[in-house]
Amino acid sequence: MEADRRIVDAALRRLLPRPGAVPPTVRRAMAYSLFPGGKRLRPVLALEACRVVGGRLRDVLPAAAAIEMIHTYSLVHDDLPALDNDDLRRGRAASHRMFGEAMAILAGDALLTHAFEVLASTGAAHRDAPRRVRAIAALARAAGVGGMIAGQVLDLEAEGRPSSLPSIERIHRGKTGALIRAALEVGGLLGGGRAREVRALCRYGDGVGLAFQIIDDVLDLEGSAEGLGKSIGKDARDRKATFPALLGVEASKRRAERAARAAVVALRPFGTRAARLADLARFIVERAH
Amino acid sequence: MEADRRIVDAALRRLLPRPGAVPPTVRRAMAYSLFPGGKRLRPVLALEACRVVGGRLRDVLPAAAAIEMIHTYSLVHDDLPALDNDDLRRGRAASHRMFGEAMAILAGDALLTHAFEVLASTGAAHRDAPRRVRAIAALARAAGVGGMIAGQVLDLEAEGRPSSLPSIERIHRGKTGALIRAALEVGGLLGGGRAREVRALCRYGDGVGLAFQIIDDVLDLEGSAEGLGKSIGKDARDRKATFPALLGVEASKRRAERAARAAVVALRPFGTRAARLADLARFIVERAH
């Protein structure tokens, strides 16, 4: 995973807009939020999904970088004063604290737009174009009003209200699950996977995404969310609906373990080729122990 | 043009996310900013570009709607307090005045993302996929840090500083020109145009985009920008670099006429088929008389 993280980081650097071609400030703000990143979970999953279906790294690498750009844009906008109002991100000043609110809004817009430019611009050999169009559609759906933005809106509207398990699951499926699932789907698609292989990867993604978010909530509650997770500001955290707040820590961990097991089961058709994806699912749950 | 405007409006309504599939508030905020729109200049240009190269309406209509969604997202974010701080848009409350700042940020994000979903999801027959990928790349480039966002950043950074003609042209090329040019390029591409036809349409788009923005500045200065143009708030207007502020009104009009003539010249390869595009270029300049 560490080697893949470095491969993703190098691709992200290479695929940023060329200096000189764009205003320096906005490029600096884009890079500031991209580096140093976290564990690069989503692009690493896309790389591994591509390998599992027998694809080559270069088929999926730009898309993997684009997925991380979309994830990063969502963090930049979520941190804004009008949303989570979070001054810190991964222990550093949030983008709007560093560059001002206007530039943070524009840098977020830029990361989102650049992701689609990267997806549509790199390595689009004619015979790959239909799969590329499907990958773009899958990512736009995951990032859009039926996915990440839906999660954010529902989260916003749930603040201060009593929450239920279905509503928390829906929020999490949007905010975190949709893009994780799409990372697997895109990796499978661009790696040349068959329809049923891509479906199996999506099911794995659903399980892993849910497990990841539950454990993130647990770690956040226990005050040790640094690293893998998104650390949200204390004010925001106090208002947010989480699994442990509703179910308690132990029941939440059991729910995450069940989701991770379902993810591993979905990998059966791939046999031993999927050993690393299975390890990743287990690792996500175990970091809470 | 009025008939095409209605065709575009119907496509926009049809291509909004389905109610029930997404949180109602964000869908309402998306629709609020899309309807009623202005003259729908960009999508109408895309439709006409498609016709000029012999394409069918259905080949380009979803992309034309997507272009208007991208244009609308940029207006929603530009109006935010941290940017132009504009309370009014086309004579109504700006999105953030109507729905709050958080929802306006998310509705803008949603419009941008949904545009790419529409571009990648509709009518992607396999044989069209390579052109579709190129169209997505062209639009992402136009909307990105080398286009619209560059214009916005440069505009932000130019506030209060003495401006020069090259810097104003660069700002306008980004903020307005890039997406107008892309509308022509995408219309030509998806209509099945040859490379040199698409290049001619791009040259036309460059001329028309510049003429449009200069005349918009002139009308704005003369206080009659309602309708076609983007009416920016008084505070913002006083700080912004414009053509008439630098060249005076008469010289600005002459500059716009020259740009519109260059646009018409670029249409020569199409002969009489391009009569409506030529009329459009003239109409854009004449509305200042």
B46 has pLDDT over 70:
yes
Domain extent, residue A165, equals 2-286
CA–CA distance, B124 with A53 (Å, rounded to integer): 24
- Residues A17, B146: C-beta atoms closer than 8 Å: yes
Q: What pLDDT shows up at residue A133?
A: 95
Total residue length of chain B: 289
Q: Is the peptide bond before B36 cis (omega within 30 degrees of 0)?
A: yes
CB-CB: which of A110, A121, A156 is closest to B137?
A: A121
User: Per mean pLDDT, which range of A117-126, B6-15, B28-37, B278-287 is the poorest?
Assistant: A117-126
- Percent of chain A clearing pLDDT 70 (strictly above): 92
Q: What pLDDT shows up at residue B229?
A: 42
- Residues A137, B157: C-beta atoms closer than 8 Å: no
Domain total in chain A: 1
Q: What pLDDT shows up at residue A123?
A: 61
Give the three-class secondary structure for A88: strand
According to DSSP, the residues that pair with A22 across neighbouring strands are A19
CA–CA distance, B228 with B5 (Å, rounded to integer): 12
List of chain B residues whose C-beta atoms are within 8 Å of the C-beta of residue A152: 106
Residue-level pLDDT, tens digit, chain A, 289 residues: 889 999 999 999 999 999 988 999 999 999 999 999 989 999 999 999 999 999 999 999 999 999 999 999 999 999 999 999 999 998 999 999 999 999 999 999 999 999 999 999 976 566 789 999 999 999 999 999 999 999 999 999 988 777 788 899 999 999 999 999 999 999 999 999 999 999 999 999 999 999 999 999 999 888 744 444 444 444 444 557 789 988 999 999 999 999 999 999 999 999 999 999 999 999 999 886 6
Q: Which residue has the tokens 């980081």?
A: A9
pLDDT digits (tens, 9 = 90+) for A223-264: 744 444 444 444 444 557 789 988 999 999 999 999 999 999
Q: What pLDDT shows up at residue A287?
A: 81
Per the CB < 8 A criterion, the answer to whether B217 and B243 are in contact is: yes
Cβ-based neighbour number of residue A162 at 10 Å? 8
B127 has pLDDT over 50:
yes
List of chain B residues whose C-beta atoms are within 8 Å of the C-beta of residue A130: 124, 126, 129
CA–CA distance, A220 with B97 (Å, rounded to integer): 34
Rounded to the nearest 5 percent, the helix, strand and coil shares of chain B are 75, 0, 25
Helices vs strands, H then E, count in chain A: 15, 2
B153 has pLDDT over 80:
yes
Per the CB < 8 A criterion, the answer to whether B209 and B256 are in contact is: no
Residue B7 sits in a domain of what CATH number? 1.10.600.10
How many Cβ pairs closer than 8 A exist between chain A and B?
A: 164
pLDDT digits (tens, 9 = 90+) for B230-241: 444 444 445 567
**What element of type H or E holds B156?**
helix B148-158
CA–CA distance, A246 with B188 (Å, rounded to integer): 55
- Residues B117, A101: C-beta atoms closer than 8 Å: no
DSSP string, B35-101: SS-S--HHHHHHHHHHHHTT--HHHHHHHHHHHHHHHHHHHHHHTSTTTT--SEETTEE-HHHHH-H
Give the three-class secondary structure for A232: coil
Which of A78, A145, A154, A170 best probes binding to B when mutated, by most B CB atoms within 10 angstroms? A145
CA–CA distance, A78 with A88 (Å, rounded to integer): 12
**ipTM score of the complex?**
0.94
Q: Residues B221-247: what's their mean pLDDT?
A: 62
CB-CB: which of B80, B120, B145 is closest to A140?
A: B120
Q: How far is A249 from chain B (nearest CA, A)?
A: 29
CB-CB: which of A120, A152, A154 is closest to B133?
A: A120
Which of A117, A139, A156 best probes binding to B when mutated, by most B CB atoms within 10 angstroms? A117
List of chain A residues whose C-beta atoms are within 8 Å of the C-beta of residue B146: 17, 21-22
Phi/psi of residue A82, nearest 5 degrees: -75, -20
Give the three-class secondary structure for A242: coil
Q: What pLDDT shows up at residue B228?
A: 43
CA–CA distance, A239 with A30 (Å, rounded to integer): 29
Q: What pLDDT shows up at residue B123?
A: 61
- Residues B140, A120: C-beta atoms closer than 8 Å: yes
